[in-house]
Amino acid sequence: MTHGDTTDETVGGEDVLDGHVPPTPAAGPRTRFNRKRDYVLLAGIVVALAVSGVVVWQRSDIRATESKPSNVRFDVLPAPEFFPPSLAEAWRADSPATWTPVTTGQLEDQNTGMASTVVTGAGGEVAGRDPLTGDVRWTYKRDLDLCTVSMAWKKVVAVYRTDGNWLPEGDPRAGGGCSEVTALKADSGERDAQRNFDAELGTRLLDDGDHVTATGSLLLLTLRSDLVKTMEYGQLPAMVNPNKQPRTGCSYESVQVTSGKIGVIEHCGDYSADQLTVYKASATDSDKPEVISSVVLPGESAQIVAMSGDFTAVALPDPGRVLVYDGKGKLTATHPIDLGDRDLRENPVGRVPLVTTATGAFYWFTGSRTVVLSAADLRPLWTTPDTLGPGTIFAGRALVPVPDGIAVLSQADGARVGTIPVDREGHTGPVTMSSVGPMVLEQRGATLVALH
């Protein structure tokens, strides 16, 4: 290229306009999915994914659940206007998962659309039944055994058993626990909500109107209506944030609840006597209980028998008495009561004394007799001896189970109006009772019996 030539360009000393321009090198061969081993690998991946999907489905709650809800609307059954002259067995059903009759659709539910239903629980199945006939209206079944079934928030609450989930040997749930809770719509049996938690075997559910508390010997768990935990009290299975529980090394002997509060009798290593603690059912941190009051009791073998407003009634033996404490843990009254020789000598089953709530009163079964306490100040009103359970209210009378039948009592003073003969076929253990419409229900151990 000569000086002054403005038409030629050079790049690296070569004329790029004149002469041969080398072709652009061709791109390398593209990887193609055309070898036999590639197809074998793809087939293996597809099979693995399919097998994993089947395994997950087989182990899922959906695969393990059999739900047969009802779409029929049933009515609330009216209670009888007059007390019936007699009661005879209408039907019975196995129901070891209920410790007291579970019913829905009382007269106060007339405008809610909730039908009168009796709920039973056996094996892994919860069943809603016609109160008059015992016919099954709906069922909800898991491949797990039931721990307990109860009512709260106008829903049926079922708790299922699971294994220990590799918990350490010292944990109370290491041999299995009650870890899956399901809420069902009471009128249809449809699943409403489901959660996991860490309740102990033998747990019972206590309803305060807004919360449900699962009892245990070392841990109490409280849930709100969407089954979210609002409080944990005691020995947690995984202590993420230590030093939040008020005491450690305590066991729980009895539990009761009232609106927004939980009362528990604790036996702690630091004290030879029992201790009464009342704490809130919910707080900012669910694992940091907000204690309202805590007081050492003057003795052992104590049981909480009732809570009402700011008052808590605690029963103690030797001598038999009911102590009433206010919201600050101050003793406000002491009432002597007669107790049987074996009363209060053992913790109640499930840590829950047998108590029936009635209008203006609590009916407490001591183990040998029924003591009625005023709901206003928790003082004893009257006692009927030689009973099998706390009883229930039906057609304006108090019905209390006795060895030869059902005692019919005046609610005002406990005077016996009469006795209805009932053949319990040799059952001598505690009997809990309820009623729905014209039906009187008895829970006799693992069997629910309807009388009419």
Residues 387-396: tens digit of each pLDDT: 999 999 999 9
Banded model confidence at residue 2, pLDDT cuts 50, 70, 90: very low
> Over 60: is that where the pLDDT of 41 sits?
yes
- Dist. CA 374–CA 362, nearest whole Å: 7
Asked, for residue 185, whether it belongs to a domain, the answer is no
pLDDT at 236: 84
Asked, for residue 165, whether it belongs to a domain, the answer is no
Q: Which position has the token pair 């709530």?
A: 357
pLDDT at 57: 44
List of residues 6+ apart from 280 with CB closer than 8 A = 231, 260, 261, 262, 289, 290, 292
- Same domain for 343 and 252: yes
Banded model confidence at residue 4, pLDDT cuts 50, 70, 90: very low
**Cβ atoms < 10 Å from Cβ of 17:** 9
pLDDT at 13: 44
Rg (Cα) of the chain, in Å, rounded? 33
Strand partners, 306: 313
Domain end, chosen from 303, 336, 351, is at: 351
Asked, for residue 89, whether it belongs to a domain, the answer is no
pLDDT at 244: 87
- Same domain for 317 and 290: yes
- Dist. CA 146–CA 98, nearest whole Å: 9
Min mean pLDDT across 172-186, 285-299, 352-366, 421-435 is at 172-186
pLDDT tens for 391-437 read 999 999 999 999 999 999 999 999 999 999 999 999 989 999 999 99
More confident: 138 or 7: 138
Asked, for residue 35, whether it belongs to a domain, the answer is no
- Same domain for 338 and 264: yes
Q: What whole-number percentage of the chain has pLDDT above 90?
A: 70
pLDDT at 171: 64
Q: Which domain does 256 fall in, by range?
A: 247-351
- Same domain for 390 and 326: no
Asked, for residue 20, whether it belongs to a domain, the answer is no
- Same domain for 360 and 326: no
- Same domain for 380 and 337: no
Mean pLDDT along residues 174-200 = 92
More confident: 27 or 386: 386
> Over 60: is that where the pLDDT of 350 sits?
yes
> Over 80: is that where the pLDDT of 11 sits?
no
Asked, for residue 60, whether it belongs to a domain, the answer is no
Query: Three-class SS string for the chain?
Result: CCCCCCCCCEECCEECCCCCCCCCCCCCCCCCCCCHHHHHHHHHHHHHHHHHHHHHHHHCCCCCEEEECCCCCCCCCCCCCCCCCCCCEEEEEECCCCCCCEEECCHHHCCCCCCCEEEEEECCEEEEECCCCCCEEEEEEECCCEEEEEEECCEEEEEEEECCCCCCCCCCCCCCEEEEEEEEECCCCCEEEEEEEEECCCCCEEECCCCEEECCCCEEEEECCCCCEEEEEECCCCCCCCCCCCCCCEEEEEEEEECCEEEEEEEECCCCCCEEEEEECCCCCCCCCCEEEEEECCCCCCEEEEEECCEEEEEECCCCEEEEECCCCCEEEEEECCCCCCCCCCCCHHHCCCEEEECCEEEEECCCEEEEEECCCCCEEEEEECCCCCCEEECCEEEEEECCEEEEECCCCCCEEEEEECCCCCCCCCEEEEEECCEEEEEECCEEEEEC
List of residues 6+ apart from 56 with CB closer than 8 A = none
- Same domain for 346 and 253: yes
- Same domain for 345 and 309: yes
The per-residue pLDDT of the chain, averaged, comes to 88
Banded model confidence at residue 329, pLDDT cuts 50, 70, 90: very high
> Over 80: is that where the pLDDT of 442 sits?
yes
Asked, for residue 385, whether it belongs to a domain, the answer is yes
- Dist. CA 24–CA 8, nearest whole Å: 22
pTM of the model: 0.85
Q: Structurally, how many domains does the chain consist of?
A: 2
> Over 80: is that where the pLDDT of 136 sits?
yes
pLDDT at 247: 86
Banded model confidence at residue 68, pLDDT cuts 50, 70, 90: very high
- Same domain for 342 and 257: yes
More confident: 239 or 359: 359
Banded model confidence at residue 9, pLDDT cuts 50, 70, 90: very low
List of residues 6+ apart from 217 with CB closer than 8 A = 172, 200, 251, 252, 351
Domain end, chosen from 332, 351, 370, is at: 351
pLDDT at 175: 73
> Over 90: is that where the pLDDT of 10 sits?
no
- Same domain for 318 and 251: yes
pLDDT at 32: 54
The CATH number of the domain holding residue 339 is 2.40.10.480
> Over 90: is that where the pLDDT of 27 sits?
no
pLDDT at 360: 96
Banded model confidence at residue 18, pLDDT cuts 50, 70, 90: very low
Mean pLDDT along residues 227-242 = 83
- Cα of first residue to Cα of last residue in the chain, in angstroms, is 121
List of residues 6+ apart from 113 with CB closer than 8 A = 73, 187
pLDDT at 64: 80
Asked, for residue 50, whether it belongs to a domain, the answer is no
